[in-house]
């Protein structure tokens, strides 16, 4: 593997932020992974980069930045009802979804069109329209950058939560995800209860959708609502949806009758962060080159030329404003580097 110095990361992040990687190496083959130990020993700090669709660069990156491009998608095992699919980390997530749709393997159709790499999918347990990676993930193969050994993490060992996993916590920047294996169904169990998905399928006049039609409906909603990073820099939802207690929701709903809450269990509710941000007056607001998306206020956009620090400060102003109005502290979903 070759190390390049002072590489511009602008093409490597969907916000389109300019930042430099002091040392940059592309992992192209499985054999490269075996030689990583020689490299990582030389550096104090490592950064693991995928498609850069969930990262905000606020500074240059010191140490070593590893860009995993190892590709391959294989059927590992199958019987009449289920199939195990292994995909290497450097594949695009949506190419894996396309592979599954082409082979009629069900389970990831709701996760269609999510940008980024396969290797990053377990990091925040990607999710959309009522499905999360944890619902289909069998195991993750990862390489310990400090111990220099490979470990297999079962679904349970990944400690998946809402936009969370062990890789985002305890093993943050210490484990290189090499491949994931999914368990998919040959007999679909569709998840189409999400309001916007149901409405889109109705609009398309579809009562009993195929997995391909579910993916198509998801693609239509996403394309209409989300800014295309190729045209306007963004990293999807900037904040997580906060969780509050049933009591707190009750108190808030006395003042804000239409506050959207989704029950997580008997005592806790998920609140729409987009709604909180809109109520705090940020929807469509622009300050210089940074703005809050007019269609989906959870998305912060770079209208061109914004720095990572400007975007970070804009996000901080949103957090403070929502806190002041509702007493709820929003947490960033995007990784700040």
Q: Which residues bind ligand FAD (CB under 6 A)?
A: 14, 48-55, 68, 89, 114-117, 119-121, 123-124, 126-128, 175-177, 226, 229, 234-236, 335
β-pair type (131-132, 127-128): antiparallel
14 contacts ligand NAP (rule: CB under 6 A): no
Indicate the residue among 115 and 209 with the shorter CB distance to ligand FAD.
115
Kindly identify the residues of this chain, within the stretch 131-190, that bind ligand NAP according to CB under 6 A.
Answer: none
State in angstroms the smallest separation of the CB of 168 from ligand FAD. 7
* CA dist., res. 78 & res. 94, Å (int): 22
Among 125, 165, 296, 307, binds ligand NAP (CB under 6 A): 296
Q: What is the DSSP string of 8-28?
A: E-GGG-TT----EEEEEEEE-
Q: Which residues of 149-186 are buried (b: 16+ CB within 10 A; e: fewer)?
A: eeeebebeebbbeebbbbbbeebebebbbbbbbbbbee
Of 53, 91, 163, 183, the catalytic one is: 163
Residue whose C-alpha is closest to residue 26's, from 13, 17, 39: 39
Task: Name the token pair of 256.
Answer: 């804000």
Task: From the list ligand NAP, ligand FAD, none, pick the one residue 55 interacts with, judged by a Cβ distance below 5 to 8 Å according to partner type.
Answer: ligand FAD
241 binds, among ligand FAD, ligand NAP, none (CB under 5 to 8 A by kind): ligand NAP
- 141 an active-site residue? no
**163 is a catalytic site residue:** yes
Sign (positive or negative) of CA dihedral 231, 203, 93, 75 = negative
Is-contact 161 182, C-beta < 8 A? no
Binding of ligand NAP by 236 (CB under 6 A)? yes
Write the CA distances from 68 to 12, 92, 95, 99, 113, integer angstroms.
12, 11, 16, 20, 20
Is 194 a binding residue for ligand NAP by CB under 6 A? The answer is yes
Choose the contact partner of 225 out of ligand NAP, ligand FAD, none; CB within 5 to 8 A by kind.
Answer: ligand NAP
Give the residue with the Cβ less far from ligand NAP, 67 or 129. 129
When asked if residue 237 is in the footprint of ligand NAP (CB under 6 A), the reply is: yes
Dihedral of CA 332/317/242/278: which sign? negative
What kind and span of H or E run contains 227? none
Number of other residues whose CB lies within 10 A of the CB of residue 324:
9
Active site residue 333: yes
127 lines the binding site for ligand NAP (CB under 6 A): yes
Binding-site partner at residue 65 among ligand FAD, ligand NAP, none, CB < 5 to 8 Å by type: none
Q: How far is the CB of 185 from ligand NAP (least distance, A)?
A: 21
Residues that bind ligand NAP (CB under 6 A): 127-129, 193-196, 225-226, 236-237, 241, 262, 270, 272, 274, 296, 298, 333
Q: Cite the active site residues.
A: 163, 237, 333
């Amino acid at each position: 593997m070759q190390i390049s110095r002072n590489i511009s990361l602008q093409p490597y992040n969907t916000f389109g932020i300019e930042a430099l990687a002091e040392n940059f190496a592309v992992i192209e083959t499985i054999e490269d992974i075996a030689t990583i130990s020689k490299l990582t020993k030389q550096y104090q700090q490592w950064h693991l980069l995928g498609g850069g669709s969930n990262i905000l660069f606020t500074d240059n990156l010191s140490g070593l930045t590893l860009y995993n491009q190892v590709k391959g998608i294989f059927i590992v095992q199958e019987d009449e009802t289920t199939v195990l699919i292994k995909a290497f980390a450097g594949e695009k997530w949506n190419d894996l979804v396309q592979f599954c749709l082409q082979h009629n393997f069900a389970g990831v159709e709701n996760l269609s069109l999510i940008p980024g790499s396969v290797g990053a999918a377990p990091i925040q347990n990607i999710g959309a329209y009522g499905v999360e990676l944890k619902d289909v993930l069998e195991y993750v193969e990862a390489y310990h950058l400090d111990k220099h050994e490979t470990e297999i993490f079962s679904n349970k060992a990944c400690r998946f939560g809402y936009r969370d996993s062990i890789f985002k916590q305890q093993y943050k920047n210490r484990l290189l995800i090499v491949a994931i294996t999914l368990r998919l169904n040959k007999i679909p169990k569709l998840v189409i209860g999400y309001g916007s998905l149901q409405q889109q399928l109705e609009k398309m006049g579809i009562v009993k959708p195929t997995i391909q039609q579910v993916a198509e409906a998801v693609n239509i909603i996403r394309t209409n609502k989300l800014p295309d990073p190729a045209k306007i820099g963004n990293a999807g939802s900037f904040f997580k949806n906060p969780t509050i207690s049933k009591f707190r929701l009750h108190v808030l709903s006395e003042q804000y009758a239409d506050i959207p809450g989704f029950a997580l269990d008997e005592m806790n509710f998920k609140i729409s962060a987009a709604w909180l941000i809109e109520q705090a007056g940020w929807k469509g607001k622009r300050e210089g080159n940074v703005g809050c998306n007019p269609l989906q206020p959870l998305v912060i956009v770079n209208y061109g030329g914004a720095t990572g620090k400007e975007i970070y400060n804009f996000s901080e102003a949103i957090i403070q404003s929502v806190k002041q109005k509702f007493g709820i502290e929003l947490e960033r979903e995007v990784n700040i580097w």
